[in-house]
Amino acid sequence: MGMLDGKVAIITGATSGIGARTAELFVEEGARVLFTGRRRPEGEALQQRLGKAARFEQADATVEADWKRVLDQALAQFGRLDCLFNNAGGPAPTGSITGIPVEGFDAAMALLVRSVMLGMKHAAPVMMRQCSGSIVNNGSIAAHLAGYSSSMVYAAAKAAVNHLSRCVAMELGEHNVRVNSVSPGLIATGIMPKALGMEAGKADRLVAELAPRYARMQPIPRAGAPDDIAQCVLWLASEHSSFVNGTDIVVDGGMIGGRMYSPQQEGLKQMKAALGL
């Protein structure tokens, strides 16, 4: 028996990476899934792999009219909505605050924050009528500490996502609708190359090359994988987490837990040697 048997989910930004793996896992666990993204070829290919339990709808998560259409399609096809995973995202302007382009800032905030707000705005009435539902928003460890993203704008946007999730959880919890966020660490997807200016398709193909670099950057000696986040989202979407609300779960292999042990010990050895001890 699957963890999501009989449930219906919408997943945004699901044409690659975390979103695609979450759609696969939800179907494996018994859910019917409507997933969205802006890249039609990738979306249609994933729908073909997932079969009749999944439907791809090309949509831009920053556009309210697209959200209305997506919700209408989900209700027309499946009759209800049990989970929303607001996963759509992408890179934001990098560099000094002195050089951030206003149009880049606005576009990043639309993609990373407005999309989440719109998803909750349009999913909430459906779930409130049902007196049930789970909304999961994709945050980031960059929301917790400065310096964990190539972009301070991205970090600020994700901090907004995490706090907006808590604020909305206080309202919707009164209707038995839960809102939580998950904050990934270094996950081997194409988002870093995209942030540095690489074309999306090429960036996605570089994942295998990124993994060994990421593996050295947190106590758990491997790169994070999309499945690590998908498993957390699955739990938050399921009844196993029915008393979890207004929480952010960090999935980062311990990256923001503190200083790594071995480099710290090496530093102590050097200090002792310098002191002649």
Please give the C-alpha separations between residue 44 and each of 11, 36, 190, 204, in angstroms, as whole numbers. 15, 10, 19, 17
Report yes or no on 145 lying in a domain: yes
Residues 6+ apart with CB under 8 A from 147: none
pLDDT at 49 over 70: yes
Residue type, 231: Q
Q: Is the pLDDT of residue 82 over 80?
A: yes
Q: What's the structural domain count of the chain?
A: 1
Rounded distance between C-alpha atoms, residue 6 and residue 238, angstroms: 11
Q: Known catalytic residue: 154? A: yes
Rounded Cα distance, 74 and 35, in Å: 10
What pLDDT, on the 0 to 100 scale, is given for residue 34?
A: 98
pLDDT at residue 191 greater than cutoff 70: no
Helices (H), the chain: 17-28, 40-50, 64-78, 102-109, 115-130, 152-172, 191-195, 200-204, 207-214, 226-237, 261-274
Band (pLDDT 50/70/90 cuts) for residue 143 is very high
In angstroms, the first-to-last Cα distance of the chain is 62
Give the structural domain span for 176: 8-274
Look at residue 197 and tell me whether its pLDDT is greater than 80. Answer: no
pLDDT value, residue 188:
83
**Domain-embedded: residue 3:** no
Tokens 């979306």 identify what position?
Answer: 43
Domain assignment present for residue 221? The answer is yes
The confidence score (pLDDT) of residue 1 equals 81
Check residue 196 and give its pLDDT.
Answer: 62
Residue 114's pLDDT is what?
A: 98
Would residue 102 count as lying in a domain?
A: yes
Classify residue 165: in a domain, yes or no: yes
pLDDT, residue 209, reads 77
Torsion of CA 235, 156, 13, 257, to 10 degrees: -40
Residue that wins the pLDDT comparison between 213 and 155: 155
Catalytic residue among 148, 154, 214, 261: 154
In-domain check, residue 65? yes
In this prediction, what percent of the chain has a pLDDT beyond 90?
A: 88
Distance between CA atoms of residues 84 and 179, nearest Å? 9
CB neighbours of residue 34 within 10 Å: 24
pLDDT of 167 > 80? The answer is yes
Residue 200 has pLDDT above 70, yes or no: no
Q: Is residue 1 part of a domain?
A: no
pLDDT digit string (tens) for 207-256?
A: 777 778 888 889 999 999 999 999 999 999 999 999 999 999 999 999 99
Q: Domain for residue 2, yes or no?
A: no
Q: What are the Cα distances from residue 67, in Å, to 62, 82, 84, 131, 172?
A: 8, 16, 12, 21, 19
Q: What percent of the chain has pLDDT over 70?
A: 94
Q: Can you read off the two tokens belonging to residue 256?
A: 């923001």
Average pLDDT of 171-194? 90
Mean pLDDT of 259-268: 92
Give the pLDDT of residue 97: 97
CATH of the domain at 118: 3.40.50.720
Structure tokens at 199: 């074309």
For residues 170-192, average pLDDT: 92
Distance from C-alpha of 95 to C-alpha of 152, rounded to nearest angstrom: 8
Mean pLDDT value of segment 103-115: 98
pLDDT-derived band at 201, boundaries 50, 70, 90: low
pLDDT (0 to 100) of residue 268 = 92
Q: Say yes or no to pLDDT of 142 above 80.
A: yes
pLDDT of 204 > 70? The answer is no
Across the chain, mean pLDDT equals: 94
